[in-house]
């Protein structure tokens, strides 16, 4: 009941009266009032004005399992597999421990803060409390590890969908695993795979996503310069992190269903979102720095780069860091 009231309030353009909500849900005004009181006790700030009704001013500041579930269908297959932690070193690291046991596909770990958030190539991912969504999901596709080369791309598209669902804004993707807005990094993705040595079969994959939500420019470490941004900086209004986490889980579930059978479609969608294509990029190749134009993304998710002499090379994401000729993009 609270969840249904919350959803109506969140989607309303202005005030909704107790009578309007009651009619929409088939309950009395008193029942609506009680649900509003319970939501307030959970940290939602809901204004009430005589003859106008209720208005949702803000959502709880903390990541909260119940608040996430409020944005998901009640019978979602992954809903009992979601855990919110106050703190983790890294949600990917923690989830890999569960994955080595018998945690099922769709196990999701979310942390309010990470003390050792990890990015690609041994980099760290700064994960302060109250600012971002730090989420990892466990997948157990039954296939050879080689059939999952496009996983990071698929997660990238799913995360663009989730952000668009909640904010209306669609980020771009900087190959391979960064989401960008206004030329700056908004989010990062780290996918990790465990492979059975003899058969080459995938044991499990953990996909971890960190999205900057509420930071202002001064909240980022100075070494990031102006290369990072948050949804709030791009949109100039707060984002409900619990709602975003729910959208991420829903889109990851959908992505998982299409992962093995819908690879071509996922990659075409990735190509459309990928802002690296058509740009001049710099990368390390056979020990030396090379420059070229990013032309395409191949079926395995590798970047096809045309070097100055006209020769093309395939750059696989595990090996290199690609940057723009004149900066981050």
Q: Which two tokens stand for residue 139?
A: 């997948």
Q: How far is the CB of 91 from ligand BTN (least distance, A)?
A: 4
Q: How far is the CB of 229 from ligand BTN (least distance, A)?
A: 13
Q: How far is the CB of 135 from ligand BTN (least distance, A)?
A: 6
Q: Where are the beta strands (DSSP E) in the chain?
A: 45-49, 53-58, 82-88, 108-114, 132-139, 172-174, 178-181, 184-195, 202-212, 280-285, 288-297, 303-307, 312-315, 323-324
Q: Give the separation between CA 195 and CA 55, rounded to whole angstroms.
A: 50
Contacting ligand BTN within 68-107 (CB under 6 A): 90-92
- Residue among 210 and 301 whose Cβ is closer to ligand BTN: 210
- Residue among 134 and 283 whose Cβ is closer to ligand BTN: 134
**Considering only residues 56, 59, 189, 247, which one is a binding residue for ligand BTN as defined by CB under 6 A?**
189
Task: Kindly state whether residue 134 participates in binding ligand BTN, applying the rule CB under 6 A.
Answer: yes
Q: Which stretch binds ligand BTN (CB under 6 A): 40-48, 129-137, 289-297, 298-306?
A: 129-137
- Binders of ligand BTN: how many residues, by CB under 6 A? 20
**Considering only residues 188, 253, 266, 292, which one is a binding residue for ligand BTN as defined by CB under 6 A?**
188
- Cis before 146? omega within 30: no
Residue 300 burial class via C-beta count within 10 angstroms: exposed 0-12, middle 13-18, buried 19 and up: middle
Q: Give the separation between CA 292 and CA 68, rounded to whole angstroms.
A: 43
Task: Kindly state whether residue 220 participates in binding ligand BTN, applying the rule CB under 6 A.
Answer: no
**Considering only residues 69, 106, 118, 157, which one is a binding residue for ligand BTN as defined by CB under 6 A?**
118
Task: Kindly state whether residue 209 participates in binding ligand BTN, applying the rule CB under 6 A.
Answer: yes
Alpha helices in 236-322 (DSSP H): 241-258, 263-273
Parallel, antiparallel or unpaired: strands 172-174 and 303-307: unpaired
Contacts to ligand BTN by CB under 6 A: 90-92, 114, 117-120, 123, 125, 134-136, 177, 188-190, 208-210
């Amino acid at each position: 009941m609270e969840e249904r009231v919350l959803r109506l309030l969140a989607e309303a353009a202005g005030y909704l009266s107790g009578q309007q909500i009651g009619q929409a849900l088939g309950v009395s005004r008193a029942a609506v009032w009680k649900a509003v009181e319970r939501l307030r006790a959970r940290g939602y700030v809901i204004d009430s004005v005589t003859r106008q009704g209720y208005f949702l001013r803000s959502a709880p500041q903390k990541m909260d399992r119940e608040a996430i579930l409020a944005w998901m269908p009640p019978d979602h297959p992954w809903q009992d597999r979601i855990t919110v932690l106050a703190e983790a070193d890294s949600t990917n690291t923690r989830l890999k421990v569960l994955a080595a046991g018998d945690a099922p596909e769709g196990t999701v770990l979310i942390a309010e803060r990470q003390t050792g958030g990890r990015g690609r190539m041994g980099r760290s991912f700064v994960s302060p409390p109250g600012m971002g969504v730090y989420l990892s999901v466990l997948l157990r596709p039954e296939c050879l590890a080689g059939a999952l080369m496009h996983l990071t791309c698929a997660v990238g598209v799913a995360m663009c969908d989730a952000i668009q669902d909640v904010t209306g804004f669609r980020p771009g993707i900087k190959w391979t695993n960064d989401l960008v807005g206004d030329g700056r990094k908004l989010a990062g993705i780290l996918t990790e795979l465990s492979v059975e040595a003899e058969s080459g079969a995938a044991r499990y994959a953990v996909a971890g996503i960190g999205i900057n939500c509420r930071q202002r420019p001064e909240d980022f470490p100075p070494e990031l310069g102006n290369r990072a941004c948050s949804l709030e900086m791009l949109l100039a209004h707060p984002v409900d992190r619990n709602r975003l986490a729910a959208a991420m889980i829903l889109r990851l579930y959908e992505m998982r269903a299409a992962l093995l059978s819908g690879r071509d479609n996922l990659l075409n969608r990735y190509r459309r979102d990928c802002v690296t294509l058509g740009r001049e990029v710099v990368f390390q190749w056979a020990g030396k720095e090379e420059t070229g134009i990013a032309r395409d993304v191949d079926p395995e998710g590798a970047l096809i780069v045309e070097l100055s002499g006209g020769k093309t090379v395939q750059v696989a994401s595990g090996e290199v860091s690609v940057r723009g000729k004149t900066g981050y993009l």
